[in-house]
Structure 1
Amino acid sequence: MISKNQHPMKLAMVSIFVEDPAKAFKYYTNTLGFLEVMFSPENYIAIIKSPLGTDPTTILLEPTEPNGIQVARDYKKKLYEMGIPVISFSAQDIHETTRELKNKGVVFKKDPVKTDYGFEAVFDDDNGNYIQLLQMD
């Protein structure tokens, strides 16, 4: 419960580090089905959102190249080497979503498996990141 003295906040935007925002934008919209919010490739700006629901949360496809911040490049590279997903997306039917994405050429590092909290799968976003796909019980 929020007290009268608190000032609650809502998630507005998250970032995913990508090497090429234009390539990532095409992949996230054409392959994964996200919607364009803003796309200015000449300025290395690509912002997308989920096509589901009314949640206004957006994702900034944050460039690490050219002239990106070295620590961001190192962080992204190390997470990928360790096989750690950078973000989690949810699916109503993870098995059907996995089939659809595989038919579009998405490469899965981990097919759906049962977990204590539901099902999870992990795929490569074709821009140096692993994405976790979840279906919660």
Structure 2
Amino acid sequence: MKIYVTSVFVDDQDKAEKFYTEILGFKVKHNVPLGTNRWLTVVSEEDPDGTELLLEPSDHPAVGPYKEAIFADGIAAHSFQVQDLDAKWKKLSERGVNFVTEPMDAGAVHMAVFDDTCGNLLQLVQMKA
């Protein structure tokens, strides 16, 4: 068994699609209309057949309070692994990404946390050698 799709709740799928593709560099894998929303998944350019991230609408009534609480507590909704955290932090910062935690040592990893502009904090991690 392996993880096929995981999701992140987003406030606006169009805005999320733009951020996750144009800013973060993911590629759209599926974009299927479903009424007023879409089955919209993105994948890493480094692993196009890997796990898909569903940019899921935040329509369910439980999502708003959940997202607000974890965001307020500084909890990242997802973690993305990178090979060179400092280089990725610099590149994304130059693209206007708002980092709420700059690169730092966190035990077994180096990490940084940023705002995805769609209601989530996301974490970048670089594994220590």
Q: Following TM superposition, by how much is the alpha carbon of 1:53 offset from its aligned partner in structure 2, in angstroms?
A: 3.0
For 1:17, the equivalent position in structure 2 comes to 9
For 1:4, the equivalent position in structure 2 comes to none
Letter in 2 for 1:107: N
Equivalent residue for 1:110, pick from 97, 101, 105: 101
Distance 1:54 1:47 in 2: 11
Query: Among the aligned pairs, what percent are the same residue?
Result: 37
Letter in 2 for 1:48: V
For 2:92, the equivalent position in structure 1 comes to 101
Point out the more displaced range, 101-110 or 75-84. Answer: 75-84
Cα distance change of structure 1 residues 30 and 105 upon mapping to structure 2, 3 Å threshold: same
Equivalent residue for 2:51, pick from 57, 68, 73: 57
Letter in 2 for 1:62: E
For residues 37-82 of structure 1, the C-alpha deviation after alignment (integer angstroms, 9 at most, x for no partner) is 1224664222101111355210100101xxx111112111111111
Equivalent residue for 1:86, pick from 77, 87, 102: 77
More strand by share: 2
Unmatched segments (≥5 aa) in structure 2:
none
Which 4+ runs in 1 deviate beyond 6 A?
Answer: none
Distance 2:116 2:44 in 1: 16
Distance 1:58 1:18 in 2: 15
Task: Give the number of equivalent residue pairs.
Answer: 126
Distance 2:111 2:45 in 1: 21
Q: Following TM superposition, by how much is the alpha carbon of 1:116 offset from its aligned partner in structure 2, in angstroms?
A: 1.3
CA RMSD, 1 decimal = 1.4
Distance 1:79 1:73 in 2: 10
Point out the more displaced range, 112-121 or 89-98. Answer: 112-121
